[in-house]
Amino acid sequence: MRPRLVFHLVMVLALAGCGSLGGTSEPLPTIVLQGGNASTAAPAGPDGARVTASGVVVPARQATLAFTLGGSVRSVQAEVGDPVKAGRVLVELENTALAAQAETARRALRELTSPAAVAAAEQALANAQDSLKDSEYRRTVQQEGHRASPETIRAAEAKLLLAQEEVDRYKGRYDQASGDADKAQALVNLTAAQQRRDAALRDLNWFRGKPSENDQAILDAEVAIAQAALQEAEWYLAAVRGEAVPADASGAQLTQLQNARDQLAAAEAALAGSRLTAPFDGTLAALEVELGDYVQPGHPAAIVADLSRLRVETTDLSELDVTEVPIGALCTASIEALGDQAEGHVIHVAQLPTVLGGDVVYATTIELDSIPDGLRVGMSAEVTCEAP
């Protein structure tokens, strides 16, 4: 208990004793001692609970920027206090090699997605469609009872007929040959014709024959291979055109294209890591590097803040009072440096506390509805909030 409160308590007890000694029957008023919590205001009035806390003016948004890689500062393209647009380059490291790598990757991808590449992919798809049709037709014909289609069988029959006519022709010449030399040459020709006829007969017999289980398995495999090739051709054509493909899409050409895109993304990310850019519209509030400096990755190099909207963040709102300050609570911020006030409302209460001088406190953010002239980030404020 504080010394002053102890003194008042002693005085109250003394006065109470004197009253009883004097024989007065008039009751003394009850005195309620307030605790030493700095953030608690007067007791709740008819409009609801009121809570006060200290605070500080903060920007609506603030970002501390750092490079993702190390290097020497090549250029500084903004000064502290400059308004900056989102995406503007503030500081750039030496990145000639990174830029060359990105351009090489860009050219490689451009070649794989050129009009000529698209036309080649379209032709490959057409070829895959024809191949599937052929394999499906061969399997269908075989399933109907023969190893070949009726057209193939008729062609084989015609070939056998011609081969037999050739045999008959050479047989007649052999029979008419008189000299030994003529007889020998005629026999050679006849024998060759007979071999061609026998081959044509074997082909015809095989085409007319029933397919074996092995024949069927081979044709089924051919159809499956053709279907897979067609699917890969469709995926590749879609990818070349810039259309979306499933995550499990496959194919050698598709893999090559995706690798080229990944390499370009990695090269561009590395190049972007050599530049500090404004993440949003705001003001360059701090700059910690100069031209020629060598910076380490992750080292804070600049701060961008949105100063177009200012807020107040409490610094000592205790655990006893935070329950009285819900989202939407109306607040008044008294700015000591300006001798002015600003109205606002609570937009955020920290989920996790911090410890201040042994007390548990919760940072609470108040959106100001109006900005007094001359208000600056870092100014102190005394906040009074009333629950809605």
CATH class of the domain defined by 62-94+267-302? mainly beta
CA distance 264 to 336: 55
Return the exposure string of 67-86: e unless at least 16 CB atoms fall within 10 Å of the residue's CB, then b. Answer: beeebebbebbbeeeeebee
CA distance 152 to 308: 83
Residues 159-163, mean pLDDT to the nearest whole number: 94
Q: What's the half-sphere exposure (Cβ side, CA atoms, 13 Å) at 334?
A: 9
Q: Which of 4-8, 182-186, 380-384 has the highest mean pLDDT?
A: 380-384
Residue 86 near residue 279 (C-beta atoms within 8 A): yes
DSSP summary character for residue 322: G
- Pick the residue with more confidence: 346 or 139? 346
Q: How many helices (H) and strands (E) does the chain have?
A: 7, 14
Residue 377: the pLDDT is 93
pLDDT at 68 over 60: yes
Nearest CA among 370, 365, 350 for reference residue 309 = 370
Answer yes or no: is pLDDT of 22 > 80.
no
Q: Are strands 300-314 and 294-295 parallel, antiparallel or unpaired?
A: unpaired
pLDDT mean across residues, the chain? 85
Q: How far apart are CA 24 and CA 92, in angstroms?
A: 86
Residue 226 near residue 232, CB atoms below 8 Å:
no
First vs last C-alpha separation in the chain: 33
Q: Give the confidence band of 143 by pLDDT, cuts at 50, 70, 90.
A: low
Handedness of CA 322, 324, 325, 330 (dihedral sign): negative
Q: Please say if the pLDDT value at position 12 is more than 90.
A: no
CA distance 206 to 200: 10
How far apart are alpha carbons 353 and 232 in whole angstroms? Answer: 56
The string of pLDDT tens digits covering residues 327-366 is 999 999 999 999 999 999 999 999 999 999 889 999 999 9
Closest CA to 90 of 286, 321, 248: 286
Cα distances (angstroms) measured from residue 21 to each of 11, 13, 15, 39, 289: 15, 12, 10, 41, 78
- Listed in order, the ranges of the chain carrying CATH 2.40.50.100 are 62-94+267-302
* Beta carbons of 295 and 93 less than 8 angstroms apart: yes
40-54, 128-142, 206-220, 255-269: least confident range: 40-54
Q: What angle do CA 214, 217, 221 make, to 5 degrees?
A: 140
pLDDT surpasses 50 at 104: yes
Contacts of 237-243 with C-beta under 8 Å, sequence gap 24+, read: 237/118, 237/121, 237/122, 237/124, 237/125, 240/112, 240/113, 240/117, 240/118, 240/121, 241/118, 242/113
User: Are 155 and 203 a contacting pair, CB within 8 Å?
Assistant: no
HSE (side-chain half, CA atoms, 13 Å) at 168: 6
HEC assignment per residue over 74-93? EEECCCCCCEECCCCEEEEE
